[in-house]
Amino acid sequence: MTGGLLGALAGLVAQLRNVGIPVSPTEHIDAAAALRHTPVADRAAVKVALAATLVKNAEHLRTFSTIFDLYFADRQRDAVDGDTTDQAGGPVDGLAGAGAGPGGGVLAQLTDQELSELLRQALRDNDSTLLRAIAGLLVDRHAGIEPGRRVAGTYYLYRALQAVNLPAVLGKLREELGGAQPSVAGRIRGLDADARVEAFRAEVEQEIRARLVADRGVDDVARTLRTPLPEDIDFLNATRADTAAIREVLKPLARKLATRLARKRRAHRSAPLDFRQTMRRAMSTGGTPVDLAYRRPHPSRPELVVLADISGSVATFASFTLQLVYALRSEFARVRTFAFVDGLEEVTSLLEKADDLLEVTRALNRGTSAVWIYGRSDYGHALTVFRRRYLDQVHRRTTVLVLGDARSNFLSPRDESLAAVAERARAVYWLNPERRELWNEGDSIIDRYGRHCTGVYECRNVRQLRAFVENLDG
């Protein structure tokens, strides 16, 4: 095995650890051993071998794939623009690189308009060679990569794709692939268009990364890549793509937590002796009680009351937390949810029917009594309304969960309402999606409320949310 390959492997492992994928030394060794049995020239085979040995969690596979592509660059791609890089000794000389690619000579003469047309045809015929050439050309012409600048490349991607008007191409492609046929299946075939365009976008992205790597070196690019694992994405800064990624990890997580909580409850063996049953069993052993019988354990399931701030700034956080709580609802005797901004409204039945909680919160924000006057969070008023209307529903077995950043917009905190709730409830937990350093800065009055809570937790990402829910039961 060549030293270069082992070096690349070491870089890959270091970078995986860097983004939070745990790779033990044993696994590193296994990966090296696996490469001995893998045709090293076959990039796909190498990827399979490394994925199987280094990544043991399906949710990490996508991140692995991105980093792998950096460290084990596509040989074919290198052949296209590698030599020009060497000659120039630094930044990639654009058009010459594409000229060396397949069909590049003719391609380079096309206008953007014609290129867009060609792209559509290539996508329709699924011609990967041509697609790759077009991707290369687009990056050369429009991305305008500046050597030495330390950026992640999304900006370049945007610039490169703008020229060919991808949405329009997608629309036409959809029609072409399936629209003419009247059948359902025909239209479903049209859906394939989305996948192909997405693949092309990935192709361009990879092309850009290849150039960046040539310019700055692998490790540097990997550092600026910022590929957080889905469980580490900050709720408050989540983009739409992030939200989708988070939702994907949340589903299996809810299932796992439910299994765990159910098991924990069943394992709880402190039930009293069932004397009658024991004596009856003793009959078969001559009156000696050998086999003891216990009463069925009767664990009390807690009731859960969730107070969720659904104002714009923290809505995503609330919706994810609620999604998790609702997936676990069989583990609680009852779950009631109240949404508030400056007013307060029970949304339990709404949430039970809806399938997308984010939709619900948006609908709520548009017009219900959750919004009272301003449309900005007023914790004081919301808590007071809760106390006045629902305090008698809170009792010894109720756990109250407050979701929000405790930013009161400098309105009166009225924390005595929370104190009154806390006095009746079994426990009050406050989950704050803001980073701890920002607590109590500006209009944040988390400490003032925190005094009355059983616990206040920072809940910025799925990892922290999970840690909290795991311990909620016990």
* Contact residues for other proteins, defined by CB under 8 A: 22, 24, 26-27, 30, 33-34, 37-39, 44-45, 48-49, 51-53, 55-58, 61, 183-185, 187-189, 191-192, 252, 255-256, 259-260, 263, 355-356
DSSP 443: T
CB nearer to other proteins: pick between 354 and 411: 354
For residue 64, give the nearest of 48, 45, 43 by alpha carbon: 48
Rg (CA), the chain: 29
The candidate with the shortest Cα–Cα distance to 69, out of 170, 153, 163, is 153
> What contacts 24+ positions apart, CB below 8 Å, involve 77-81?
77/132, 77/206, 77/207, 77/210, 78/210, 80/132, 80/136, 81/136, 81/210, 81/211, 81/214
Q: Report the nearest approach of other proteins to the CB of residue 192 (Å).
A: 7
Phi, psi of 116, rounded to the nearest 5 degrees: -60, -40
Closest to 206 (Cα-Cα) out of 328, 67, 304 = 67
Q: How far apart are CA 171 and CA 206, in angstroms?
A: 24
Residue 48 or 106 with smaller CB distance to other proteins: 48
Task: Closer to other proteins by CB, 28 or 120: give it.
Answer: 28
**C-beta separation of 132 from 104 below 8 A:** no
Nearest to 315 by CA among 369, 377, 367, 251: 377
Q: How far is the CB of 437 from other proteins (least distance, A)?
A: 30
Closer residue to other proteins in complex, CB, 54/339: 54
Assess contact for 147 and 155: CB atoms under 8 A: no
Phi, psi (deg, nearest 5) at residue 337: -125, 135
Least distance in Å: CB of 272 to other proteins? 22
Nearer Cβ to other proteins (220/248): 248
- Beta carbon nearer to other proteins, 356 or 416: 356
Which residues are registered as beta bridge partners of 328?
none
CA angle 195/201/205 to nearest 5° reads: 140
* Closer residue to other proteins (CB): 51 or 391: 51
Nearer to other proteins, 231 or 342 (CB): 231
We find the least distance from the C-beta atom of residue 196 to other proteins, in angstroms, to be 12
CA dihedral 318→322→60→58, nearest 10 degrees, is -170
- Gap between the Cα atoms of 118 and 387, Å rounded: 65
- CB 151, min distance to other proteins, A: 32
Task: Please state the closest distance from residue 84 (CB atom) to other proteins, in A.
Answer: 32
Compute the least distance from the CB of residue 65 to other proteins, in Å: 12
Nearest 5 degrees, angle CA 282-CA 286-CA 292? Answer: 20
Rank residues 56 and 388 by Cβ distance to other proteins and give the closer one: 56
Least distance from other proteins to the Cβ atom of residue 47, Å: 9
Shortest reach from residue 28's CB to other proteins, in Å = 11
Cα angle 452, 301, 419 (rounded to 5 degrees) comes to 15
Which of residues 18 and 38 has its CB atom nearest to other proteins in the complex? 38
Q: State the helix-helix crossing angle for 154-162 and 184-216, rounded to 10 degrees.
A: 130
Which helix (DSSP H) or strand (DSSP E) does residue 164 occupy?
A: none
Residue 22 or 171: the one with the smaller Cβ distance to other proteins is: 22
User: Closest distance between other proteins and the C-beta of residue 221, in Å?
Assistant: 26
Q: How far is the CB of 13 from other proteins (least distance, A)?
A: 14
Q: Is 375 left (phi over 0), alpha (psi -120 to 50) or beta?
A: left
Residue type, 340: F
